[in-house]
Amino acid sequence: MGQRFADFRSDTVTTPTARMLEAMATARVGDAVLGDDPTVDALEKRFAELFGHEAALFTPSGTMSNQCAVAAHIEPGEEVIVESDAHIFMYEGGGLSRVGGAHVRTIAGEAGMLPVDEVRAAVRPPSVHMPRTALICLEQTHLFSGGSILPMSYLESLRALSLQLGIPVHIDGARIFNALAETGIDAADYGAMCDSMSVSLCKGLSCPVGSLLIGSGAFIERAKRVRKWLGGGMRQAGYLAICGLIALDEVLPLLSDDNARCRKLGGAILGLPGLQIAQPNIDTNILFVEITHPGLDAPMVEAALSDHGVLALAIGDRLLRFVTHRLVSDPDIDRAAQALQEIVTATPRG
């Protein structure tokens, strides 16, 4: 039998639960593109109600949900304000310009938070010479700052500004359930902070595929047209949608354990020579570790960890990313910490 790896590369490596697999075999389905798949309808209805919006749209991926959202909110050539390290800007293949035709304006944020005063200043005055500011995008939780949670007080301030200026807000909520597990804030309270939100099923919730885009009924009708452009309509999609319904009951209660295990790993790494936690706080399930050891870099540590049965993800030369999820156990945390200690102590420093 092959070696079992402790896989910290991403929470996207999660596989469906046994209950999900059993339910897939007996799910009631129809043709979702024609609008008669009852399981897809149930999933969309439940997520819309959960976040306090009128409607939802099941898509194959979070990237598609985000790009459908932008293209449904704006006209080509209009401007979208995003945080400079946001996933929707950095890691979605240039879709903002390619799919939505957006003119993108980036603002450097702190832990994913766009400074409200800078957003106000960035909004374009009415002028034929400038693009119209048409959308503000946020990310909850913020991946590149280590799964940071945008505080509700901040979201309320930005929401007040957006309503004052009449500019909609889209939240990339790929990992918002990790924030819900940590804060205890009601999903509908987060939903009230935006005009649309994308929510991933295939990360911490352990579904095999899928994302929900949530918003008003008219907005979702526009987003359906964009999904069609992108080839995102799926036929008997209820076989996949059933996993999302089960995940809310079976997997969602486990996400607080994922967050706690991430903090446990961070605590075990503290004090190890040649390693440094590369974020101020560990809010949820993502940990970035900076390799400061002069004889090592991130790809080298990634390779060495693999030899110890631990998988992590090198981000450039100096950063290593660990993501906890349902398939990572307490012994896996201990195994990763022990492997890191052996690697840094066994490597000459110069």
Domain positions in the chain: 6-12+254-346, 18-250
| 6-12+254-346 CATH | 3.90.1150.10
Structure tokens at 276: 């440094």
How distant, in Å, are the alpha carbons of 75, 99, 169, 342 from that of 102? 8, 8, 15, 48
3 state SS of 322 = strand
How distant, in Å, are the alpha carbons of 98, 116, 135, 258, 289 from that of 121? 26, 9, 14, 38, 34
Residue type, 189: D
164 and 133 in contact (C-beta within 8 Å)? no
Instruction: Check residue 350 and give its pLDDT.
Output: 66
298-307 vs 330-346: helix axis angle to the nearest 10?
A: 120
Per run of 10 residues, the mean pLDDT along the chain (length 350 residues) is 84 97 97 96 98 98 98 98 97 96 97 97 96 98 97 98 98 98 97 98 97 98 97 96 98 97 96 94 97 95 97 97 98 97 87
3 state SS of 281 = coil
| 18-250 CATH | 3.40.640.10
Strands (E), the chain: 6-7, 55-59, 79-83, 103-107, 133-139, 169-173, 196-200, 211-215, 275-277, 286-291, 310-311, 313-315, 319-323
Structure tokens at 318: 């100096």
Beta pairing partners, 311: 7
Give the DSSP letter of residue 221. Answer: H
Instruction: Check residue 4 and give its pLDDT.
Output: 86
